[in-house]
Amino acid sequence: MTTPEISALHVGRRDAREGFQRSLESFKRKVGAFGVRVKILGIVLAMTVVVGIVVIWQARAVMGDVLVNELDHRGMAMAGELAAEAAVPILADDNEAIAGLMGNAISDHPDAIYAIVVGPDASVLASIFGDEIQADQVPDVHPGDDLIAIRHVDFETAAGSIHEFRAPILDGFGGSVRLGLSELRMERATTGVTRHVIITTLLVGLSGVVAASALTWLLTRPIVDLAHTTREIGGGDLDARATHLADDEIGTIGVAFNQMATDLKGNQETLAKSEIVRKRLLEQLIDAQEAERRRIARELHDTVGQALSSLMVGMAALSQSSADEVVIAKRMELQKLAEETLDQVRQMSRELRPSALDDLGLAAALELYSADFGILHPHVTVDLHVDLPRRLPSSIETNLYRIVQEGMTNAGRHSTADRLSVLLSERDGLVRAIIEDDGEGFDHVAVRKAARSVGIHGMQERAELVGGKLTIESGHHGTTVFVEVPR
């Protein structure tokens, strides 16, 4: 073989192996899709069918051999008897007696369908044919055929297989007897036995299916119950338990599963308690943080702010008491620096804790923050809409303000947005806040998994702290933050 032919042969074998493996995998997947009950019932039915076919085939084969041997022995004996009884009528040349003898043989033996007495010259001396066969269906005997012992000949006709037994009369000098036996009765008997075997096999198969159904029910009921219990626990019902039916291997699995469910419930309760403690500590931490922010903001406003204001008044009085241009220029420079410092102190005070949030409420605080945001980010147009019919509880106002503040800060710093829309409304006992920009989006899922954004995590914590939820949607056309808090 040439190299291309060898390569083609290897490729063909490889493709054949891969095709066989794919077919095998497909078969495994299809079989695996059925339940345990169906598999067990399928195995029982397959075994019943296979055993039934083997039993029927063996029964027919053995019975056929036995009946054929019995038919051969009976035919040999009958042919020999007829040859002996026909000797006297042949010697007496009594064809009528020969015919009567043949007729009795046909009537007395149900398997015999014809009997013929042939003279030494192959001429037919007498013949009797039953309804199953015609004379022209029987092969002829030619003169000169030596017959010194009983001979057995088989041939096929429209009536089926025929066993012909040829027995010599007077050692062949008086001719011969030809006796034909049919397999019809034997086939009917074999068919009857086969029918009984089939019925028995069907009954056994039905019994096997019933027994297998009961067995599979006993075997799979704990498994089905265990699967149902698993789904219930997966749905949050930690009190669900698997039914313990027996102390076998499946029962042991059920006991272990129930113990696991008990441990899981205990761990869940411990985790819930820890979560309550964590939330309480977080709430206290945020309250302390806000209180400290409020204190520092007031200190900046009342102490540092007043000191700077006094300093500006003093410098104004100093300029009036001196006409020196150098002193006046220096006074103006210092006064301008003091004004800028005062603005920065007031800005820091508002960022730490805007007094408007405590005095006027969330809407006023957000309006002031939006104005400050516009100064810090002049390239972003802020569209603020607040529809709150009355003031909210202090904790909700504080956390919503911080969430909106963080959302707007992120949009101004990272999104390169041109427009920023903030909407707050209350409906059906729920306060909803939406912060939406048209800047560049980001993969918020990856950011959360990587824990790179403390701000997003803080927004999530604050929303959960007041019983709400926070959702972020981000894409190429911008980012939207949804916050929903019960009043």
Same domain, 379 and 343: no
Dihedrals phi, psi of 97, to nearest 5 degrees: -65, -35
Could you give the CA distance from residue 213 to residue 40 in angstroms, rounded to a whole number?
Answer: 8
* H-type alpha helices, 300-361: 305-321, 325-352, 355-359
Least confident piece of the model among 182-186, 215-219, 368-372, 450-454:
450-454
78 or 35, greater pLDDT: 78
Q: Can you name the residues that pair with 128 across neighbouring β-strands? A: 115
CATH code of residue 404: 3.30.565.10
Top-confidence residue, 37 or 418: 418
**Per-residue confidence (pLDDT) for residue 318, from 0 to 100:** 61
The candidate with the shortest Cα–Cα distance to 240, out of 221, 256, 220, 257, is 257
> Is residue 427 situated within a structural domain?
yes
pLDDT of residue 385 exceeding 90: yes
Of 227, 238, 226, the closest CA to residue 266 belongs to 238
Query: What percentage of the chain reaches a pLDDT higher than 70?
Result: 85
State the residue for tokens 């794919």: 22
Tell which of 138, 157, 189 closes a domain. Answer: 189
Averaged over 419-433, what is the pLDDT? 91
Poorest-pLDDT segment among 31-45, 194-208, 226-240, 420-434: 31-45
What is the average pLDDT across 173-186?
Answer: 84
Are residues 349 and 324 located together in one domain of the fold? yes
Asked whether the predicted pLDDT for residue 305 surpasses 70, the reply is no
Residues 283 and 169 placed together within one structural domain of the fold: no
CA angle 338, 378, 362 (to 5 degrees): 80
Residues 480 and 378 both lie in one domain:
yes
pLDDT computed for residue 431 by the predictor: 93
Out of 319, 338, 353, pick the residue that ends a domain: 353
CB 127 within 8 A of CB 114: yes
**Residue 23 forms part of a structural domain:** yes
**pLDDT in the model for residue 303:** 67
Question: What's the pLDDT score for residue 432?
Answer: 93
31-58 burial by CB neighbour count: b if 16+ within 10 A, else e?
eeeeeebeebbeebeeebeeebeebbee
Per mean pLDDT, which range of 131-140, 308-317, 408-417, 464-473 is the poorest?
Answer: 308-317
Question: Can you tell me the distance from the alpha carbon of 37 to that of 126, in angstroms, rounded to the nearest whole number?
Answer: 70
CA nearest neighbour of 242 among 230, 266, 268: 230
Average pLDDT, the chain: 80
Is residue 326 in a domain? yes
Assess whether 316 and 363 both reside in one domain. Answer: no
Q: What is the pLDDT of residue 230?
A: 85
Q: Does one domain contain both 394 and 344?
A: no
114 lies in the same domain as 167: yes
Confidence class for position 324, pLDDT limits 50, 70, 90: low
224 lies in some domain: no
* Helical segments of 143-248, H only: 184-234
- pTM exceeds cut of 0.85: no
Mean pLDDT of 215-239: 80
What was the pLDDT predicted at 117? Answer: 87
Residue 110 included in any domain? yes
Instruction: For the chain, give the percent of residues with pLDDT over 90.
Output: 7
Whether residue 302 is predicted with pLDDT greater than 70 in this model: the reply is: no
What is the model's pLDDT at position 433? Answer: 94
Residues 322 and 372 in one domain: no
pLDDT of residue 1: 56
Laid out side by side, the sheet with 430-437 consists of 381-387, 419-427, 430-437, 478-486, 469-475
pLDDT at res. 321: 60
Cβ–Cβ < 8 Å for 150, 212: no
pLDDT band for position 141 (cuts 50, 70, 90): low
Q: Are 366 and 415 in the same domain?
A: yes
- Mean pLDDT within 329-350: 72
Q: Mean pLDDT across the stretch 99-127? A: 83
Q: Do 396 and 421 share a domain, yes or no? A: yes
Residue 371 and residue 409 in one domain: yes
pLDDT tens digits, 259-299 = 888 888 888 888 878 877 777 777 777 777 777 777 776 76
Q: How does residue 132 score in pLDDT terms, banded at 50, 70 and 90?
A: confident
Q: What's the structural domain count of the chain?
A: 4
Bigger pLDDT: 24 vs 194: 194
**Residue 242 included in any domain:** no
Q: Considering the domain boundaries, does residue 61 fall inside one?
A: no
- What is the residue range of 105's domain? 76-189
Let me know if 358 is exposed, middle or buried by CB neighbors in 10 A (0-12, 13-18, 19+): middle
- Work out the average pLDDT over 53-57: 84
Contact yes or no for 359/314 (Cβ under 8 A): no
Q: What pLDDT does 424 receive?
A: 92
Q: Which of 140, 174, 189 finishes a domain?
A: 189
Q: Is residue 312 part of a domain?
A: yes
Q: Does one domain contain both 366 and 481?
A: yes
pLDDT band at residue 316 under the 50/70/90 scheme: low
